[in-house]
């Protein structure tokens, strides 16, 4: 797995510092933070150099209706004209994950924070 660009690492560190947390990189190069209400926030490098910001809810989806609702959340995001796309998936534990992709030069503390808020809002819109 590729390493996060330095600018993204700095954004993650600032994001963590704002919450009084320590940003530690995992063996796979990702940074993850677990929150009781929000879920797991992860920031990692994509295969083609982009930065991936994901939010995983700690629930198990059952039934095709829930999967369809999750898939329906995949859409263009960004009232700021960013045009970033939210992608939806299930992880290995069958928990729902929403992911935003961005170019390394786009990420800073504020963009990371607003990305997490946008992903959380998508889950809340589903009642999750």
- CATH number for the domain including 116? 3.30.1460.10
Residue 103 domain-assigned (yes or no): yes
Residue 104 domain-assigned (yes or no): yes
Per-residue pLDDT 10s for the chain (128 aa) are 678 999 999 999 999 999 999 999 998 889 999 999 999 999 999 998 899 999 999 887 666 677 777 777 666 555 445 667 888 888 888 889 999 999 999 999 999 999 999 899 888 888 88
Q: Provide the Cα torsion 37, 43, 44, 49; round to 10°.
A: 140
Residue 24 domain-assigned (yes or no): yes
Residue 101 domain-assigned (yes or no): yes
Q: How many domains does the chain have?
A: 1
pTM of the model: 0.87
Residue 102 domain-assigned (yes or no): yes
Quote the CA–CA distance of 100 and 115 in Å, as a whole number.
7
Residue 1 domain-assigned (yes or no): no
Domain span at 85? 6-125
């Amino acid at each position: 797995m590729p390493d996060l660009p330095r600018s993204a690492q700095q954004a993650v560190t600032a994001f963590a510092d704002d919450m009084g947390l320590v940003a530690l990189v995992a063996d796979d190069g990702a940074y993850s933070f677990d929150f009781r209400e929000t879920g797991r926030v992860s920031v990692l490098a994509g295969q083609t150099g982009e930065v991936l910001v994901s939010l995983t809810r700690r629930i198990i989806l059952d039934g095709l209706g829930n999967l369809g609702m999750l898939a329906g959340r995949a859409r263009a995001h960004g009232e700021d004209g960013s045009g970033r796309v939210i992608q939806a998936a299930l992880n290995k534990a069958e928990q729902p994950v929403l992911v935003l992709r961005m170019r390394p030069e786009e990420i800073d503390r504020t963009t990371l924070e607003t990305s997490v808020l946008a992903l959380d809002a998508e889950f809340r819109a589903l009642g999750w």
